[in-house]
Chains A and B, each alone.
Chain A
Amino acid sequence: MIAVLGLIVGVVAGLLVRPVVPTVVEPYLPIAVVAALDAVFGGLRAMLDGIFDDKVFVVSFLSNVVVAALIVFLGDKLGVGAQLSTGVVVVLGIRIFSNAAAIRRHVFRA
């Protein structure tokens, strides 16, 4: 419950406070958000599976974000940023879908 509240508070704060994102970080924010989403879905699935571990969740969340941003950053430096970020989004999207399918089976039993 507290976790859901945290998510809601974060969204509301982002909408209300309008924090200024540094220009350097800006291109990596969308990828980082998608990676974090992937981590959150993975965590939810683990929770439903009964194997949730907060340390694992924190590490996977942070490493997902960092690695995704790093890949995009590297792609930008190599000149294939657009393609690499597409690839990252595709991979994360697939993972999110499979996690969502597992969660669905848990929740709806179907």
Chain B
Amino acid sequence: MSDDRTTPPGRGPEEERNGAAAVPEEPAGPSGPAAPAGERPSPGGRERLIRGLWPPRVNRNQLTVALLLFVLGLGLAIQVRSTSENSPLRGARQEDLVRILDELDSRTQRLEEERGKLENQKSELENSSDQAEEARRQTEERARQLGVLAGTVAAEGPGIRMTVNDAAGTVEAHMLLDAIQELRAAGAEAIEVNGVRVVTSTHFTDSGAGIRIDGRKVASPYRFEVIGMPQDLEPALNIPGGVVQSLEKEQATVSITRSEKIVVDALRSAKRPDYAQSSSQ
């Protein structure tokens, strides 16, 4: 390279004239004294490059260029290293960083919103399933209660057992009906007479030697299984002029026992009403 300082006449036309170095009559090119007058009158770029590279010479030119190239290499290495080993954010400019931060913020916000929405949805679903479960439970409970009243399910609980022994055959249907009424007034919740469940539609009719309950013939002794509060039921039957006294007046014997566990397991199928329809729909 050092030779180049001494070749000011090379400043000719600015196009790459040496690209046509094979043309010897090209007027450009330094006319160095070392230029052989052989096949090539002026040294081409390649020769200059080789001469600059070898043998190594230490002079101001080389040192200056070496210093600058050292700086370039340093910067190159630093830059390559910082881009390769650090995150791409490191070399980013301020506005890019701000933009990235904004994007991240809005993204975070969007995701937060989505999360909140999903949380709400989840709790709603849980609530609704809880509510459905609760409603189903209540409905079942209600169905059981109504079943006890309608006689479609068996019932058990404290109550009394009353036996009416009608040896003379003088007990009539209305007396049993009176007993049922009295029991109901005293809070009886489930009643069974000789294996027949007594419900709202139950009717008593006289039929010769016995009594028909809902069309089924029953005969003495009439055994009442009553679920209710025993302390209420028994006095209600025993009041003066009440059921027991009027039955005994007809020569029937009545025995009442309280029990902590009365089982009313006679069932009756629910009858679908033909005319009455629920008005609460």
> Contact residues of A with B, CB < 8 Å?
1-15, 18-19, 21, 26-27, 29-30, 32-33, 36-37, 39-40, 43, 46-54, 57-58, 61, 76, 79, 81-82, 85, 101-103, 105-107, 109
The distance in angstroms between the C-alpha atoms of A27 and B83, with both chains bound, is 11
- Segment touching A, from B66-74, B189-197, B202-210, B225-233: B66-74
**Which listed residue, A2, A21, A37, A106, touches B19 by the CB 8 Å rule?**
A106
The distance in angstroms between the C-alpha atoms of A7 and B94, with both chains bound, is 31
Q: Which B residues touch A15, using CB under 8 A?
A: 77, 81
**Which listed residue, B8, B46, B71, B90, touches A10 by the CB 8 Å rule?**
B71
Interface size class of B (residues with CB under 8 A): 35 or more
What are 10 pairs between A and B in contact, CB < 8 Å?
Answer: A1-B62, A7-B72, A14-B73, A40-B68, A48-B46, A81-B95, A85-B93, A103-B45, A106-B16, A106-B19
Nearest CB of B to A9, in Å: 6
Q: Which A residues touch B19, using CB under 8 A?
A: 102, 105-106, 109
Q: Which A residues touch B77, using CB under 8 A?
A: 10-15
Q: A6-B67, A109-B46 are known contacts; what are 14 more A-B pairs with Cβ within 8 Å?
A: A1-B56, A9-B70, A10-B72, A18-B81, A27-B94, A47-B52, A50-B18, A57-B68, A58-B68, A79-B95, A81-B93, A105-B18, A105-B45, A106-B19
**Which listed residue, B49, B60, B75, touches A107 by the CB 8 Å rule?**
B49
How does the 8 Å CB contact mask read for B2-14 relative to A, with 1 for contact and 0 for none?
0011011011000
| Chain B CB within 10 A, most for which of A46, A51, A61, A105 | A51
**Which listed residue, A6, A32, A109, touches B73 by the CB 8 Å rule?**
A6
Taking a contact as CB atoms under 8 Å apart, the answer to whether B48 and A48 are in contact is: yes
* Interface SS of chain A: helix
Taking a contact as CB atoms under 8 Å apart, the answer to whether B45 and A49 are in contact is: yes
Asked whether B54 is an interface residue with its Cβ less than 8 Å from the other chain, the reply is yes
The distance in angstroms between the C-alpha atoms of A4 and B1, with both chains bound, is 11
Nearest CB of B to A59, in Å: 11
Known: A29-B78, A52-B1. A57 touches B16 (CB 8 A): no
> Contact residues of B with A, CB < 8 Å?
1, 4-5, 7-8, 10-11, 16-19, 21-22, 29-30, 43-46, 48-49, 52-58, 60-79, 81-83, 90-96
Taking a contact as CB atoms under 8 Å apart, the answer to whether A1 and B53 are in contact is: yes
Nearest CB of A to B259, in Å: 94
Taking a contact as CB atoms under 8 Å apart, the answer to whether A43 and B65 are in contact is: yes
The distance in angstroms between the C-alpha atoms of A9 and B71, with both chains bound, is 10
Q: Which A residues touch B79, using CB under 8 A?
A: 29-30, 33
| 4 shortest interchain CB distances as A-B pairs | A10-B73, A14-B77, A106-B45, A6-B66
Q: Which A residues touch B18, using CB under 8 A?
A: 48-50, 105-106
Q: Which A residues touch B55, using CB under 8 A?
A: 1
Shortest Cβ distance from B54 into A: residue: A1
Taking a contact as CB atoms under 8 Å apart, the answer to whether B58 and A50 are in contact is: no
Taking a contact as CB atoms under 8 Å apart, the answer to whether A49 and B10 are in contact is: yes
Taking a contact as CB atoms under 8 Å apart, the answer to whether A30 and B91 are in contact is: yes
